[in-house]
Every structure is written in structure tokens, then in C-alpha cells.
Amino acid sequence: MLENYLHTYFPIAGEVVKPIVPILKSKFRQLQETGSEAELFFMNNHRTISPFANGDLQDARLFGDGYDFQIAVESDYFLAEVKGVRGNTGGIRLTSNEFDKASEFGGKFCLAIVSSLQAVPRIKAFFNPLSELKFSKQSIRSEQVCYSIPARRW
């Protein structure tokens, strides 16, 4: 990726640029990378958010529960969903599961926006984000097609 970035923004005259393979062009991959970078930054800097200063970060990303991290602070806890934005501005979206958890946990739910990932990242934390930010509902309908083989002895 670094090589492609350098070729794109700092081309060398006369040099033949290798074509970008499809996996590097994938919009989903780009979103995943932005999210991963934001989560890594959050994991390394969550203590800069005052309620989390003495907290113990627990990774919940693989559970699909509608939040990325649980931060245990003494006998209390918070749930944190992390979103990344490459620049200083950009939109974010919550899945219905994330939105439901934000609604259910209120002030115990933190939406952490890590912005300016391409320069000097910073975190903006919103506790009880549904009362602080205005989300609009968008419905996306899609059809998932799969191909299967009936049960058989392998």
C-alpha cells in the first residue's frame, strides 16, 4: 500500500507504475483499514479520555455485540464504539446493533471518533451519543446470494 501511495502522490518521471490489484482498490478494504487504524489509536490512547484514565480496556470486537471495547473502571464499566475518519471532517454510520446498544446503555456508551488519521490523530468522545448527535435512519436493502451443496458424506 505504501508503494502505491508513493507512486500515486510522488511519481518518478519515466518509471512504470505497477497496476493496483483489485484487493487494494476495494472500498470495503479501505473502510476496514480506516477502522482498524482508529481502533489501534484508541487502544493506545483511551486513557486520555477522563472517565477511562484508570480503566482496564477489554477487547470485544470479535463478539459482534454492538461495541468494540468495554472499559472497566473500578466497579463500573463503559462500552466504547470506535469510528475512524481519515481527515478532519467526515460522516460516520452506526449499524442497527450499535445504535441499539447506544440506546440501551445511554451514558455508559461512548462513541469515540478518531479523526485526522492521515496526519495527527485525535479522539473526540461522545457519551450518550444519541442525545448529543443527530442520526438519520437509512434503510439499505440487499439480496445475499449463496451457493450450496446438499448434505453428503465427505
Q: Enumerate residues 6+ apart whose C-beta is below 8 A from 54.
A: 47, 73, 74
pTM for the predicted model, two decimal places: 0.75
> 63-107, pLDDT tens digit by residue?
999 999 999 999 999 999 999 999 999 999 999 999 999 999 999
Q: What is the CATH number of domain 27-130?
A: 3.40.1350.10
> 2-52, pLDDT tens digit by residue?
666 666 667 777 777 666 665 555 665 666 788 999 999 999 999 999 999
Domain boundaries, the chain: 27-130
The rounded distance, in Å, linking the Cα atoms of 87 and 150 is 48
Q: For residue 73, what is the enclosing H or E element?
A: strand 69-73
Provide the pLDDT for residue 32: 75
> 111-135, pLDDT tens digit by residue?
999 999 989 999 999 999 999 999 9
What are the distances in angstroms from CA 43 to CA 55, 112, 118?
11, 11, 18
